């Protein structure tokens, strides 16, 4: 029965330790996430300031404010989780504090009782008498050992009291820190809620401004769509030409412009690329998706459909661009209105990186995953934005589904 009790106590100690460690680890992760979200808000603030300075359209400002609202909402959810986590820690520490106080109280009571009994029954003379009244040397030795062990026990109990007092003091300090941290987080939480209200008011003002000049902004949207369609058509043609050129190197009777003929090495690379769907690194380190892939209604004018053949990644000025996988540079093109665009072949897959102001690779060069291939350009509207596409032969794929989740 004693062994069973000891085993259960040991298991409880192990589980409690693991739970405490897991909770501390979660707290660190939440703090890190909060800091990252705050950095992202600062990044958007800088972009919004540039947008205002460049007298860009209200549509750009709307996009940035919308993104800032989304980040703040995520920040609020994270703050709530941090507050809940601290509440749990405070509750656990208060419980532990009560238990330690009771243990300390009991230890002090036991020690006081022991001291009283010691003085009542064991004066110096009585101890000597206790030793010399032994009937034999062996009995006297045993009595001496008993007195020695008794003294050690008293010393150990005194040490336990000092240790418990220090433990209790440290726990109370931790508890105070937790409560202070909770108060600070709650203030941040309330401040972010207020900021969201202000952001929503700004967003509404921009929407009203845009709707007031509906015809002007619709012309802007349509002009951008026409420009984008031209670029998409040009890229499709470039891919077909690149496929035809690649296939000429392979001895085949039919020269396809819609499908790569792969060597055994190319097939292996394509299979590896395909197996990494949802696990590819982002082509820029600090970024968010400002425009998603595919056909979708415009944010403000719902009857207007917007088509994107890739995703737009807004990042920091002078950000480096990385290859998302091993491959070979297929070509580099200067796209009208889009700066340099790099095409990298991964078997029969192609990753395309648009709006680069600097390029560090050349056609035919083999590249590795996460290799720096260039730098993103900052547009006239103040946005530093990478247009990222993924194709399988001539079929457009949704890049967001291929990148690691953030």
Domain limits, the chain: 7-212, 221-401
The pLDDT score that the predictor gives to residue 81 is 85
At 153, the pLDDT band (50, 70, 90 cuts) reads low
Mean pLDDT confidence for 362-382: 92
Q: In this prediction, what percent of the chain has a pLDDT beyond 90?
A: 26
pTM above 0.95, yes or no: no
Read off the DSSP letter of residue 280: B
Higher pLDDT, 102 or 238: 238
Residue 310's pLDDT is what? 95
Worst-scoring range by mean pLDDT, 99-113, 137-151, 273-287? Answer: 137-151
Least-confidence region, from 26-40, 289-303, 329-343, 378-392 = 26-40
What are the DSSP calls for 120-169, one per residue?
A: HH--HHHHHHHHHT-SSHHHHHHHHHHHHHHHHHHHHHHHHHHHHHHHHH
221-401 architecture in CATH? Distorted Sandwich (2.70)
Residue 124 or 154, more confident: 154
Q: What are phi and psi of 229, to 5 degrees?
A: -60, -40
* Joined tokens for residue 317: 């000025």
Query: Taking 80 as the threshold, does the pLDDT of residue 396 lie above it?
Result: yes
* Run of H or E residues at 5: helix 2-53
Q: Residue 128: is its pLDDT beyond 60?
A: no
At residue 251 the predicted structure's pLDDT band, cuts being 50, 70 and 90, is: low
What local confidence, expressed as pLDDT, does residue 2 receive?
47
Q: Whole-angstrom Cα distance, residue 83 to residue 222? A: 47
Lowest mean pLDDT among 13-27, 228-242, 365-379: 13-27
Q: What integer best gives the mean pLDDT of the chain?
A: 79
Q: What is the pLDDT of residues 185-244, one digit of tens each?
A: 888 888 888 888 888 888 888 888 878 888 888 888 888 888 888 888 989 998 998 888
Least confident of 4-8, 110-114, 215-219, 301-305: 4-8
**Highest mean predicted confidence (pLDDT) among 116-120, 152-156, 171-175:** 171-175
Cβ-contact 378, 343 below 8 angstroms: no
pLDDT band at 366 (very low <50, low <70, confident <90, very high): very high
CA Rg, the chain, in Å? 35
* Residues 395 and 291: beta-carbon distance below 8 Å: no
Determine the pLDDT at residue 121: 52
Span 61-78, mean pLDDT?
83
Comparing 141 with 374, which gets the higher pLDDT?
A: 374
More confident residue, 222 or 107: 222
Lowest mean pLDDT among 119-128, 145-154, 163-172, 294-303: 119-128
Q: Which pLDDT score, from 0 to 100, does residue 298 have?
A: 82
Res. 34: pLDDT tops 80:
no
pLDDT, residue 55, reads 40
- What's the pLDDT score for residue 369? 96
Residue 99 scores a pLDDT above 60 = yes
pLDDT for residue 1: 46
More confident residue, 35 or 360: 360
Three-state DSSP class for residue 213: coil
Phi, psi for 255 (deg, rounded to 5): -105, 95
């Amino acid at each position: 029965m004693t062994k069973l009790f000891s085993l259960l106590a040991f298991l409880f100690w192990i589980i409690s330790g693991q739970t405490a460690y897991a909770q501390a680890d979660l707290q660190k992760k939440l703090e890190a996430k909060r800091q990252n979200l705050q950095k992202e808000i600062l990044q958007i603030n800088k972009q919004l300031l540039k947008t205002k300075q460049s007298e860009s359209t209200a549509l750009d400002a709307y996009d940035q404010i919308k993104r800032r609202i989304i980040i703040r909402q995520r920040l609020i959810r994270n703050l709530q989780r941090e507050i809940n986590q601290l509440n749990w820690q405070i509750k656990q520490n208060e419980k532990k504090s009560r238990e330690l106080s009771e243990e300390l109280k009991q230890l002090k009571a036991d020690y006081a009782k022991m001291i009283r009994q010691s003085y009542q029954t064991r004066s110096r003379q009585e101890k000597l008498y206790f030793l010399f009244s032994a009937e034999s040397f062996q009995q006297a030795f045993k009595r001496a050992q008993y007195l020695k062990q008794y003294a050690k026990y008293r010393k150990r109990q005194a040490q336990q009291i000092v240790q418990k007092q220090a433990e209790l003091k440290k726990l109370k300090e931790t508890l105070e820190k937790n409560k202070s941290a909770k108060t600070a987080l709650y203030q941040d939480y309330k401040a972010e809620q207020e900021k969201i209200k202000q952001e929503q008011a700004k967003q509404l003002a921009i929407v009203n401004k845009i709707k007031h000049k509906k015809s002007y902004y619709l012309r802007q949207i349509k002009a951008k769509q026409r420009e984008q369609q031209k670029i998409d058509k040009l890229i499709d043609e470039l891919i077909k030409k690149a496929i035809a050129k690649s296939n000429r190197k392979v001895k085949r009777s039919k020269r396809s412009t819609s499908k790569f003929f792969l060597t055994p090495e190319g097939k292996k690379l394509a299979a590896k690329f395909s197996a990494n769907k949802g696990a590819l690194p982002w082509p820029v380190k600090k970024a968010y998706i400002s425009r998603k892939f595919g056909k979708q209604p415009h944010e403000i004018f719902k009857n207007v459909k917007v088509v994107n053949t890739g995703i737009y990644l807004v990042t920091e000025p002078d950000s480096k661009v990385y290859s998302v996988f091993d491959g070979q540079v297929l070509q580099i093109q200067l796209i009208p209105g889009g700066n340099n665009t790099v095409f990298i072949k991964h078997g029969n897959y192609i990753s395309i990186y648009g709006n680069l102001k600097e390029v560090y690779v050349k056609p035919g060069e083999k590249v590795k995953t996460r290799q720096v291939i260039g730098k993103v350009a900052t547009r006239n509207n103040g946005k530093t934005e990478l247009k990222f596409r993924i194709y399988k032969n001539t079929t457009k794929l949704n890049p967001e589904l291929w990148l690691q989740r953030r």
